A and B are shown apart, each in its own frame.
Chain A
Amino acid sequence: MEGTYDKAFENVVRLRIMSILMVNERYDFNSFKELLEVTDGNLASHLRNLENSDYIRVEKSFAGRKPLTNYSATAAGKKAFQAHLDFLENLIKENKP
């Protein structure tokens, strides 16, 4: 069967983070928090998890005086997400009678 089920995307928050980063060049922490409606701690731990798998890249800067943390998907992350998508699509195809 084509595609691979990736454990990293088993969690729905991580799946959503990666979906957003597939179509946005970069996305910041607060915007993630608002769109996903999760707590700071929860979001930070999922982001760290994806970062540790080298699926996303962190970029810290300042917007005026406020710290701004931007995230973007790495090439490896995009590839893994695409494989995960392929897996899901094939699963649907195979289960069709």
Chain B
Amino acid sequence: MRKPEQELSDIKSMMERSTRFLSLSGLAGVLAGIYAFVGAGIAWYWIYFPSTEYGAGTETISQADLQINLLAVALVVLVLAIGSAYLLSQQKSQKNSHQFWTPASKRFLYALFIPVLAGGLFSFALIHESAYLFIAPTTLIFYGLGLINASHFTLGEIKNLGFGQLIMGLTGAFFPEFGLICWAIGFGVLHVIYGSMMYYRYDR
């Protein structure tokens, strides 16, 4: 018989690996934050520059060409962020010789993307209704809810990141003139902070 301590740690590790997606890469979080920050900077330049008075430029968003440009930037940021997360997490699972597609990783993605997809569609409804001021808070709130939901199936720290996004989203909803700033803090700064924290804790 093996040592009972060894048996118990074996049991614990199996329980974790079968329920939680542990290959989430911290580095991907940092990269996502950087993409988001750059994207927000470009959006700020287009909407507000040269006037830095927040809220003063919001009427320009109704211009059709600016709308398309903003959507294109948002799409590029989204694709880069998801692409990095996918590639780096797959790399991490290979390094730890864990499987990537497991019931746990599928549950994680399902829990994250149902709120996120609903939020994305809701944002299109907001564009359709010209409620541009609420797009930034909406994406933050739905993403935050998705993270809190998905935190049961991955590293637990994700839950705090989710609450952070939720707080930034609600702040942006009550002070819409700071929507883009809140968005940059939530998707940019919080991702970099959390990503580097997770990187130092789990990936090295």
Which applies to chain A's interface (DSSP): helix, strand, loop or mixed? helix
A88 contacts B7, C-beta separation under 8 Å: yes
- Measured between beta carbons, the chain B residues less than 8 angstroms from A92 are 4-5, 8
The number of chain B residues with a CB under 8 A from chain A is 17
Instruction: Tell me the bound Cα distance from A19 to B18 in angstroms.
Output: 9
- Measured between beta carbons, the chain A residues less than 8 angstroms from B1 are 10
A35 contacts B99, C-beta separation under 8 Å: yes
B18 contacts A88, C-beta separation under 8 Å: no
CB-CB contacts below 8 Å: B54-113 with A: 99, 102-103
B10 contacts A91, C-beta separation under 8 Å: no
Indicate if A20 sits at the interface (CB-CB under 8 A): yes
**Mask: chain A, 20-37; 1 = CB below 8 Å from B; 0 = not:** 101110011001001100
Among A27, A91, A95, the residue within 8 A (CB) of B103 is: A27
B10 contacts A15, C-beta separation under 8 Å: yes
Instruction: Tell me the bound Cα distance from A19 to B11 in angstroms.
Output: 6
A88 contacts B8, C-beta separation under 8 Å: yes
Instruction: Tell me the bound Cα distance from A28 to B103 in angstroms.
Output: 9
Indicate if A12 sits at the interface (CB-CB under 8 A): yes
B102 contacts A85, C-beta separation under 8 Å: no
Contacts from B to A (Cβ < 8 Å): 1-2, 4-5, 7-8, 10-12, 14-15, 17-19, 99, 102-103
Contacts from A to B (Cβ < 8 Å): 10, 12, 15-16, 19-20, 22-24, 27-28, 31, 34-35, 85, 88-89, 91-92, 95
